[in-house]
C-alpha cells in the first residue's frame, strides 16, 4: 500500500501539471482516427461526390469512388482538393488537419506553395510552407444546380497514410473526415 507521503507527492505533481497546462493555454485533445470516410453526393449535382465536412464536401477522388481515398499523392508535391458547399452556412469556417499516427499538422494553401514544375520539395519544406489552417468564406445561398464553394486548396501531405480533415465554426467542430492518402503514379 502506498504511503501517505507518496500519495501527497503524486497529488501535488498532478496539481502542478494541471496548472502548467492551464497557464500555457494549451488544452490537450485526443485525436483518434476513424475509419476512412464514405463519400456523399452533392445535393444539386449527383455526379459530384466528396468527403462530408459539415456543410462542405472535399474531393480529389477517382470517379466512382465510394470512400475518401486519395490516389494522386506524390512525395514532394502538394495535392489539390476541391472544397465545395453542399449546404449554405452563415459564418466563415476554419479547415485544418493532421496525420493519424503522429498527429503532425497538415499544412494547406490556397495556391500552389512551391515553384510550379519544380523538382519535388524536400519533406522539411512541407513543415513551413502554407498554413496550419485556412479560413473558408461563408456561402449563405447556393444555386439550384451546379456546385460552388471555397474552391481548390493545396494540401501538403508529407507522407502517405491516414489523415484527418476537420472543419470548425469557431470552437465547435462541424465536420470531420478521415482520408486514406496513397501514392499515385508520377
| pLDDT tens sequence across 52-91 | 999 999 998 777 789 999 998 999 999 999 999 999 999 9
For 138-148, the pLDDT digits (tens) are 999 988 877 88
70 found inside a domain: yes
Average pLDDT for residues 20-28, to the nearest whole number? 36
What does the alpha-carbon distance between residue 127 and residue 125 come to, in Å, rounded to a whole number? 5
14 found inside a domain: no
43 found inside a domain: yes
Judge contact between 57 and 139, C-beta under 8 A: no
170 found inside a domain: yes
Give the least confident one: 2-6, 12-16, 65-69, 106-110: 12-16
Q: Which domain holds residue 114?
A: 31-183
131 found inside a domain: yes
Q: What CATH number is given to the structural domain containing 173? A: 2.60.40.10
Per the structure, the count of domains in the chain is 1
The answer, yes or no, to whether residue 37 has pLDDT greater than 90, is yes
Amino acid at each position: 500500500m502506498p504511503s501517505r507521503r507518496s500519495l501527497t507527492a503524486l497529488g501535488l505533481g498532478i496539481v502542478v501539471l494541471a496548472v502548467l497546462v492551464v497557464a500555457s493555454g494549451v488544452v490537450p485533445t485526443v485525436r483518434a482516427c476513424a475509419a476512412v470516410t464514405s463519400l456523399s453526393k452533392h445535393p444539386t449535382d449527383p455526379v459530384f461526390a466528396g468527403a462530408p465536412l459539415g456543410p462542405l464536401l472535399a474531393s480529389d477522388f477517382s470517379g466512382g469512388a465510394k470512400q475518401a481515398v486519395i490516389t494522386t499523392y506524390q512525395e514532394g508535391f502538394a495535392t489539390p482538393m476541391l472544397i465545395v458547399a453542399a449546404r449554405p452556412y452563415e459564418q466563415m469556417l476554419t479547415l485544418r488537419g493532421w496525420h493519424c499516427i503522429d498527429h503532425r499538422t497538415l499544412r494547406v494553401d490556397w495556391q500552389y506553395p512551391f515553384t510550379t514544375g519544380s523538382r519535388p520539395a524536400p519533406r522539411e519544406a512541407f513543415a513551413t510552407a502554407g498554413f496550419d489552417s485556412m479560413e473558408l468564406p461563408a456561402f449563405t445561398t447556393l444555386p439550384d444546380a451546379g456546385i460552388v464553394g471555397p474552391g481548390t486548396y493545396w494540401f501538403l501531405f508529407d507522407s502517405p497514410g491516414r489523415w484527418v480533415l476537420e472543419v470548425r465554426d469557431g470552437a465547435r467542430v462541424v465536420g470531420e473526415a478521415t482520408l486514406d492518402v496513397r501514392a499515385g503514379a508520377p
